[in-house]
Amino acid sequence: MNAVLNGREVDAAALCKEIERRCPGVMAWFGSYTFHWWAMVWVGRWRLVEASTPRELLTKIQAGRSAPPAGR
């Protein structure tokens, strides 16, 4: 599946695989209806993360992993 990013067409599946490579244990995908980037991230429990771009998704995943779990 392709997505438009910064005005150009990109391979969404390849970008998701790159996110998963950089963040082991994460499952990432591009929403064909929402046109947003998504990931399931384990931080003591599963969390759904959503972003407008792959870079923003990586940033949110990394920030979520370094933050203490909610309620602690």
Q: Is 12 within 8 Å of 2 (Cβ atoms)? A: yes
What confidence score (pLDDT) does residue 36 get?
97
What confidence score (pLDDT) does residue 3 get?
79
Tens digit of pLDDT for each residue in 7-56? 788 899 999 999 999 999 999 999 999 999 999 999 999 999 999 999 99
Q: Look at the chain and count its residues.
A: 72
The whole-angstrom separation of Cα 45 and Cα 19 is 19
* Per-domain boundaries in the chain: 2-66
Residue with tokens 């969404």: 12
CA dihedral 61, 63, 69, 72 (to 10 degrees): -170
What confidence score (pLDDT) does residue 42 get?
93
Examine the pLDDT at 71 and tell me if it is beyond 70. Answer: no
